[in-house]
Amino acid sequence: MEKRKSEFRNEIFADKVFDILNWIIIIFVLVIICYPLYFILIASFSDPNLVANGDVILIPKGLSLGSYRRTFQYGDIWSGYANSLINTFLGTIISVTVTIAAAYALSRKELPGRGLLMGLITFTMFFSGGLIPTYLIVQGLGLYNTRAVLLLISAVSAYNLIIARSFMVSNIPEELHEAAVLDGCDEFKFFFQVAIPISKALLSVMILLYAVSQWNSYFNALVYIKDRSLYPLQVILRELLIQTESSANMVGGNAASIAEARRIANMMKYSVIIVSSLPLLIAYSFVQKYFEKGIMIGAIKG
């Protein structure tokens, strides 16, 4: 009896040690991940000279809103924000709608040639048509320099489509579909009344992935948009940073003016990151609880 009690106490002690080590590792990883984000935040409110000298570590020093003031005084910043919000909202709706519908169709065994279709979709993940052919197609379809090109050219991600299809294969039993058909349910009714409600976690994941992609997109706008009124926020911020850096490198005069120009350039970097990232960080908090579930189910069981 004493031996069993001793073994039991040893097991409890080993479990406690294991839990403590786990927490230490988790906290260490959390600090590694979160500190760079925290540093960018406090650096955006701090004196850039103190940041450059390494004096800003845990709390902001030399509090200043000058970087944000300069960022929001830039002429096209608000139109860029509006364009990014519109593109993200409309683009996410289009992308999620097409992806979920295509994933459901590809998850049905009755679809002729679905294996071939999946092979062609997977092929596009490794090989694309190239920039020049895509540019010619965009021009030929009359999409050049329109908002539609930003919404349609990246409407479907092959990776997201594969995740969505795998999720539906794993979570919509064939027996459920057969029972619904016997009750007189057609494919459209089954899709909207059964498949969609079951796929709430997947929908949240798709919304987040497509919204992040659309919000951060700038290359397509650089290539296919020439009207400044259609520039998204990322293009405007990129232009702002380039102009600030160029001014710092080209400024003439005494050492004080050069140092001030470089100070402004360094100050702008952090505020631009916060301005471009904050909306997504806020949105992520609302769908985070669904994110891991949707990704893991779609990725593992496919």
Give the pLDDT confidence of 78-125 residue by residue, as tens digits. Answer: 888 899 999 999 999 999 999 999 999 998 888 888 889 888 888 988
The two structure tokens encoding residue 67: 């970087």
Overall average pLDDT of the 197-214 stretch: 86
Matching residue, tokens 């839990």? 19
Q: What is the pLDDT of residue 302?
A: 41
User: Are 275 and 68 contacting, i.e. CB atoms less than 8 angstroms apart?
Assistant: yes
The tokens describing 1, both together, are 């009896």
* Both structure tokens of 124: 């596009």
39-63 pLDDT tens trace: 888 888 887 778 777 788 888 888 8
* 224: exposed, middle or buried (Cβ count in 10 Å: 0-12, 13-18, 19+): buried
Helices (H) and strands (E) in the chain, counts: 15, 0
Ranges 18-32, 176-190, 279-293: which has the least confidence: 279-293
What pTM does this model have? 0.77
pLDDT tier, 300 (very low <50, low <70, confident <90, very high otherwise): very low
What per-residue confidence (pLDDT) applies to 301?
46
Contact 174, 109 (CB under 8 A): yes
pLDDT in tens, 9-24: 667 777 788 888 989 9
Q: Which residue has the higher pLDDT, 192 or 254?
A: 192
pLDDT score at 188: 86
Kindly state the average pLDDT of the residues 17-44. Answer: 88
Of residues 68 and 245, more confidently modeled: 68
Contact 47, 66 (CB under 8 A): no
